[in-house]
């Protein structure tokens, strides 16, 4: 389906930009993609998101929309086909709740795993495990957070789950396992095998190296 002048500004290693890319694909919306250099942000990015100056930014009909969850809701409202959010109001609210929970609780703890060392690292890892266990309850025995198919919450959470796997490999730390979080582990296996999700997955080894390098840089700044 034609995207009516849709352009997305993103970054290959941003889970938030990948949310939008996969959502656009699931919706069948054609768009132009512009990879950003976060060390030298384009004028288009700075103009499109003057408040946070971050990716992703969606440009549509001369207007800019920023913040990934806001963008997901926008594209679901503008293009009604292949809806991401459930039709039932209660289920829609649940989808929004778990997507927000991940951003407000899981993401800060997972960032801490990258940026902290020693006891603070252990604290961040412990918090991440606790929040991920809470997240598991949101599946409520279903295959997906959206019910029987991948939807709004699944798209929002999937890329964070991919980063969980990557952090476990990069830093040799346990965050999710089949024994303690069997439902969440099974969901991660399912959603990350989806062809749309796999299409946009960053190369795993490249992402692990990128994150290790980022951690080395950030922890060096803290120690100095």
Q: pLDDT for 30-75, tens place per residue?
A: 999 999 999 999 999 999 999 999 999 999 999 999 999 999 999 9
> The pTM is what?
0.94
- Banded model confidence at residue 219, pLDDT cuts 50, 70, 90: confident
Comma-separated ranges of CATH 1.20.1050.10 domains in the chain: 89-223
Surface-to-core class of residue 78, CB atoms within 10 Å of its CB (0-12 exposed, 13-18 middle, 19+ buried): middle
Q: Do 114 and 151 meet the contact criterion of CB atoms below 8 Å apart?
A: no
Predicted local confidence at residue 224, as pLDDT:
52
- Report the b/e string of 145-178 with b at 16+ CB within 10 A: bbbeebbbbbbbbbbbbbbbbbbbebbeeebbee
Predicted local confidence at residue 221, as pLDDT:
63
Q: Which CATH number fits domain 7-78: 3.30.930.10, 3.40.30.10, 1.10.274.10, 3.30.420.240?
A: 3.40.30.10
CATH topology of domain 89-223: Glutathione S-transferase Yfyf (Class Pi); Chain A, domain 2 (1.20.1050)
CB atoms within 10 A of CB 88: 11
Q: How far apart are CA 135 and CA 173, in angstroms?
A: 19
* Token representation of residue 9: 């500004």
């Amino acid at each position: 389906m034609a995207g009516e002048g849709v352009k997305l500004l993103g970054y290959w290693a941003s889970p938030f930009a990948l949310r939008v890319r996969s959502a656009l694909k699931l919706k069948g919306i054609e768009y132009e993609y512009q990879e950003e250099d976060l060390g030298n942000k384009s004028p288009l990015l700075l103009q499109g998101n003057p408040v946070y100056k971050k990716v992703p930014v969606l440009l549509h009909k001369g207007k800019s929309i920023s913040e990934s969850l806001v963008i997901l809701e926008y594209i679901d409202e503008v293009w009604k086909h292949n809806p991401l959010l459930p039709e039932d109001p209660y289920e829609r609210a649940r989808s929004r709740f778990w997507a927000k929970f991940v951003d407000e609780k899981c993401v800060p703890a997972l960032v801490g795993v990258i940026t902290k060392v020693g006891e603070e690292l252990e604290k961040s890892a412990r918090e991440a495990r606790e929040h991920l266990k809470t997240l598991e309850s949101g599946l409520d025995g279903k295959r997906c957070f959206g019910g029987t198919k991948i939807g709004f919450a699944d798209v929002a959470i999937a890329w964070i789950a991919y980063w969980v796997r990557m952090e476990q490999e990069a830093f040799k730390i346990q965050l999710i396992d089949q024994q303690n979080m069997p439902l969440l582990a099974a969901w991660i296996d399912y959603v990350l095998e989806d062809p749309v999700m796999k299409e946009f997955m960053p190369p795993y080894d490249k992402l692990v190296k990128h994150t290790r390098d980022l951690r080395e840089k950030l922890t060096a700044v803290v120690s100095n």
